[in-house]
């Protein structure tokens, strides 16, 4: 799958370096699915860069879908748009500093 959004492409690339399964999505309120097989953990996540609108609505939908499919919701942002509804939030600069998958999981 070709990822057109440059910010999403960078996030997926970083998550892939953790040695986990990362699947970008299309036509969904979330942008990617991450599976940590050793921890039996699934994460659905969204990204927001300066071009995103309706960040609060998207994050609410991600939370809702996460509850239904029993996946942990997360939102990764460049800092310009941040949802205000309790979804775990990671700033992209913080993601870049993470070296081990356990560090990422601990942020949930």
Q: pLDDT (tens digit, 9 = 90+) per residue, 31-47?
A: 999 999 888 999 999 99
Return the pLDDT at 67.
96
pLDDT at 49: 84
In order of their start, the domains of the chain are 6-106 (3.40.1350.10)
By C-alpha distance, which of 78, 65, 79 is closest to 33? Answer: 65
């Amino acid at each position: 799958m070709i990822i057109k959004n440059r910010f999403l492409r960078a996030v997926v690339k970083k998550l892939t370096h953790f040695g986990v399964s990362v699947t970008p999505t299309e036509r969904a309120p979330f942008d990617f699915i991450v599976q940590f097989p050793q921890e039996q953990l699934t994460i659905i996540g969204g990204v927001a860069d300066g071009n995103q609108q309706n960040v609060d609505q998207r994050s609410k939908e991600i939370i809702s879908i996460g509850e239904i499919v029993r996946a942990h919701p997360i939102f990764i942002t460049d800092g310009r748009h941040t949802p205000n509804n309790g979804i775990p939030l990671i700033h992209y600069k913080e993601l870049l500093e993470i070296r081990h998958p356990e560090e990422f999981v601990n942020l949930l």
